Structure 1
Amino acid sequence: MYQHKFKVAALPAWAAIATCLVPCVSGFCARADTRQANYTELAEQLSSSALIYLPGSDTFEDAVARWSNLSVPVANVVVSPGSEEDVVTTVKFANKYQVPFLATNGFHGSITTLGKMSSGIEIYLNQLNSVEISEDGQTAKIGGGIRSKNLTDALWAASKQTVTGTCECVSYLGPGLGGGHGWLQGHHGLVSDQFLSFNVVLADGSLVTVDESSDLFWGLKGAGHNFGIVTSVTSKIYDLTKPNYAVNTIFFSGDKVKEVYQLANELWITNGTMPEDLNNWSYWFYDPTIDADKPVIAMYIIQEGVDVVDSVHTQPFLDLGPIMSQPQSGTYLDLGKWTGISLADGPCQKTGNANPRFPIYLKQYNPEAQAQVYELFRQATTNDSTPFSGALFMFEGYSQQGLKAPGDEASAFAYRSENLLVAPLLTYAPTGQAVEQAAYQLGNQIRDILYQGSGESSLSTYVNYAYGDETPKAWYGSESWRQDRLSALKKKYDPTAKFSFYAPIA
């Protein structure tokens, strides 16, 4: 393993020439030769703490490796900035030589539009990971490269917390720029609802501070991937008052799929009665040690501030006759482990698999549609020859009070009226076009059944889980005023569409 400090002599001759995508207003562009991009010039301009990772090194390979190996972006040099000004310098250098660039951190965005970057500079923000709590303890300035677990732990040590993504290894700002669901959203809303100001490097390389006085503030909170590289953010934080949590994980046979989700509707969803201190997730997965014939339904009932989940929430499910139940108690720090998304779990490992998701928002479960997609999922995961035996179906039901409080027009995030986030995760080894096409067809077939069963007139998807075949209307809301507002912001702040590799507005 080796990594280079920025020293001119360390850069090989291949780095002197780059082939790139020329920016264009439509978002994606044809391949073209460019002027010489002399990376030794960039090396001389960056701070002493900045790092360059070159192909052939372990550090480079780790920096470009992604959680999902489907339609991945391609970089031929990685810059790890040591400061916000290093990001400015790198973007200006890229612009000078018309070289594409992409900011990364948690590597969990699996959207296929990322594959449109066929060469260029990866700006790996991992060193920008500071947390500075204000003197009054109400806010924190947080580096743009921090990950959710690191932020949670840093705030926890100060008896503070804030809304972050649920998976421990994802970045803090990646989900936040797309809205960002989290365990605490019943109290405080989305990750993006916590943001008070952003330090952002814009498409022209300028570093600006954006707060509520700027028209861009609205767009960064839900469609932020389209407008710049956020190098730091000032966020609301909160006193840690209820550290203890309990969960009861109740496993059902797939034969009970209709009953389980009808009950969830009746208890929490249909009338919007999910308590603020409760979160309800469920997974479907095939585990022959629990059921050899079909995928199981694992229902997670998670409650804050208790050591045992209140029986008013669990007993109705126990009365359905589950396979087993597993009550556990601990703290907020155990939630990732309980739900299989801690640093040690599979979703935080780079295995070389493809991991496409096909998300859809729902207002409530349609038990008949649930049964139809369960049967598709069963066939896809239990067949002896299937490539999808490791697939997971995720149903995320968060408490909604904090999410809905700001109102639908508060930010570019469009789906505050939805109650459920649903997504099949079709993990498979990327062995060729046939399996890729099979995953695409299965995922969209499942999503279409749920969509038709929802009775909605337009598809609503979570941009942070997006597959890539969805439209900007699905990612950012179908209302014409939303699309017009986002298009105007894009034209103003990124007219040549440099930030168009992740779910582009246009």
Structure 2
Amino acid sequence: MHHLQLKFAALLASAAAVSCQNYAQLARKLSSTAHIYQPGSDAFNAAVLRWSNFSTPVANVVVVPGTENDVVETVKFANVHSLPFLATNGVHGSISTLGKMTHGIEIHMSQLSSIAVAQNGLTATIGGGVLSKNLTDALWAVGKQTVTGTCECVGYMGPGLGGGHGWLQGRYGLISDQYVSMNVVLANGSLITVDQRSELFWAMKGAGHNFGIVTSITSKIYDIQHPNYAMETLIFSGDKVEAVYALANQQWLTDGASMPVDLINWSYWYFDPTTDAEKPVIAFYIIQEGVQTVDAAHTNPFLQLGPITTQAVSGTYRDLAGWTGISLSSTPCQKTGNANPRFPIYLKSYNSTAQREVYDIFCTATTAPSSPFSNALFMFEGYSQQGVKAIGQDATAFAYRADNLLVAPLLTYTPNGTLVDAIASKLGNTMRNILFLGSGESSLNTYVNYAYGDETPVAWYGSDSWRQDRLCALKEDFDPRGQFSFYAPIV
């Protein structure tokens, strides 16, 4: 133990020494557009500010590359000085394993924000720092679109490394299913192009956080076929939990079915005393593509359950984030200083009994006097799945193409020491375990991009032994020292 303490102290001293003496050397190797931010500066503070202040990584310096080669030079510099490094972009990264980075270099990807549509209009090359909204707007301006994350403030690239869900996945598949090639800086500092000819391509589409820093991606893009969308919002009281989700199963998820290709169903649970002073409400969204009004065949059965309020809106694809509360200006995109852990699970359908049990726990947690979790949110994401399921189960490292629903409590709270963290962990895992037991599945399937951090690689990347063996073998080949191990590590 004494030896380990001395080694750790030496690493910290080394990081401080590098900070004082050697970053000028790195600066000379970077492009004129790159930046290096030191602690104490406003730019450094802004760059390291996290969306979730739960188990956060610690950086001694921030490098903002201006070119792909700047990433290469930064990784090489880090290797020479035995410094850890972590690439960042966008928000919503909240996994507890990030806290294992206790010093080192943050590589902030924001300047790698180019978007270039190919002359044939079939692909676009997208910088590793592009946000989902940036890409949606740039493509929309030329009559194109592709699958991106639903939330406007997340990066385009990051969600895809974990598979990546999006509004258009029923048509085209996951975000990562669109990838044609990617430029990747490996742990040794080499820049390579990865495509279907590379054995690494399979792993990057679902477990990519483990293998490199993606500096640019060439992705498939598509002509806009259905610009207009409509959404019906139905607010239910908590006593309707069983009825609402039993009806959702009956409408859309019976006998192995998934949502119709033009339909998405989301719902949130949250405590809103202005609507219900005693219990969390159920905000149930039915979103339909290519229409001005959601088809009554979808809405009428739910209207018969007696919602508290209803609201119908219509617009375009670009309105979806605002309607569902995840636009750039929405609360989930703000850096408020809160901790924001999630506890995700994939499901094939709803178990209405489990939904009731979990709702009752969530109700107590959010409405109890002085509860730290009064601003918690429970998310139920039911995307159309046809494009996802059309691709073989073994085609990529993403393992959960057969599942229909992405479910996760988001336990927003003010950080206040390890005790409240432990309470949040117990609460989130208790609710998730109830849903797992109610699913009848033999293994816990989780979305790595929402992961809390105490799940296992089996939960993140699939329970098939061949998947784990293949990922471990690729990890040994491309990152033998485990330098990319701060986000849901394979081993």
Q: Same fold (TM over 0.5)?
A: yes
Matched, 1:186 2:170: yes
Matched, 1:494 2:482: no
Q: What are the residue-to-residue correspondences of 1:43-442 with 2, within 5 Å?
A: 43-271=27-255, 272-442=257-427
Does structure 2 retain, via aligned residues, the 8 Å contact 1:226–1:504? yes
Structure 2 CA distance for aligned equivalents of residues 140 and 395 of structure 1: 31
Structure 1 CA distance for aligned equivalents of residues 259 and 350 of structure 2: 14
Structure 2 CA distance for aligned equivalents of residues 346 and 423 of structure 1: 17
Secondary structure in 2 aligned to 1:126? Answer: coil
Counterpart position of 2:430: 445
Structure 2 CA distance for aligned equivalents of residues 276 and 216 of structure 1: 31
Bigger drift between 269-278 and 426-435 goes to: 269-278
Secondary structure in 2 aligned to 1:127? Answer: coil
- For residue 43 of structure 2, what is the amino acid of its counterpart? T
Does structure 1 retain, via aligned residues, the 8 Å contact 2:165–2:174? yes
Question: Aligned pairs, how many?
Answer: 480
CA offset at residue 273 of structure 1? 4.4
Does structure 1 retain, via aligned residues, the 8 Å contact 2:91–2:153? no
Where has structure 1 moved over 6 Å in runs of 4 or more? none
Q: What 5-or-longer segments of structure 2 have no aligned partner?
A: none
What are the superposed Cα offsets for residues 315-349 of structure 1, whole Å, 9 maximum, x if unpaired?
Answer: 11001111111100011111011000000001100
Structure 2 CA distance for aligned equivalents of residues 61 and 465 of structure 1: 25
- For residue 60 of structure 2, what is the amino acid of its counterpart? N
TM-score, scaled to structure 1: 0.94
Does structure 2 retain, via aligned residues, the 8 Å contact 1:283–1:395? yes
Secondary structure in 2 aligned to 1:232? Answer: strand
Does structure 1 retain, via aligned residues, the 8 Å contact 2:91–2:333? no
CA offset at residue 241 of structure 1? 1.8
- For residue 85 of structure 1, what is the amino acid of its counterpart? N
CA offset at residue 107 of structure 1? 3.1
Counterpart position of 1:25: none
Structure 2 CA distance for aligned equivalents of residues 64 and 361 of structure 1: 31
CA offset at residue 351 of structure 1? 0.1
Does structure 2 retain, via aligned residues, the 8 Å contact 1:143–1:233? yes
Structure 1 CA distance for aligned equivalents of residues 26 and 350 of structure 2: 53
What are the superposed Cα offsets for residues 171-230 of structure 1, whole Å, 9 maximum, x if unpaired?
Answer: 001100000000000000000000000100001000000000000000000000000000
Secondary structure in 2 aligned to 1:193? Answer: helix
1:483 to 468, 472, 479: 468
- For residue 388 of structure 2, what is the amino acid of its counterpart? L
Structure 1 CA distance for aligned equivalents of residues 335 and 479 of structure 2: 32
Bigger drift between 266-275 and 78-87 goes to: 266-275
Structure 1 CA distance for aligned equivalents of residues 181 and 321 of structure 2: 28
Structure 2 CA distance for aligned equivalents of residues 107 and 385 of structure 1: 28
Sort the Cα spacing of 1:450 and 1:137 in 2 relative to 1 into closer, same or farther, 3 A: same
Secondary structure in 2 aligned to 1:196? Answer: strand
Structure 1 CA distance for aligned equivalents of residues 259 and 489 of structure 2: 34
Does structure 2 retain, via aligned residues, the 8 Å contact 1:65–1:107? no
Structure 2 CA distance for aligned equivalents of residues 417 and 274 of structure 1: 12
Secondary structure in 2 aligned to 1:255? Answer: helix
Secondary structure in 2 aligned to 1:60? Answer: helix
Structure 2 CA distance for aligned equivalents of residues 309 and 135 of structure 1: 36
Structure 1 CA distance for aligned equivalents of residues 423 and 412 of structure 2: 12
Structure 2 CA distance for aligned equivalents of residues 280 and 228 of structure 1: 34
Secondary structure in 2 aligned to 1:327? Answer: strand
Does structure 1 retain, via aligned residues, the 8 Å contact 2:172–2:387? yes
CA offset at residue 39 of structure 1? 1.0
CA offset at residue 270 of structure 1? 2.4
Residue identity over aligned pairs, in percent, reads 69
The alignment's C-alpha RMSD in Å is 1.3
- For residue 446 of structure 1, what is the amino acid of its counterpart? M
Does structure 2 retain, via aligned residues, the 8 Å contact 1:66–1:72? yes
Does structure 2 retain, via aligned residues, the 8 Å contact 1:267–1:273? no
Sort the Cα spacing of 1:430 and 1:273 in 2 relative to 1 into closer, same or farther, 3 A: closer
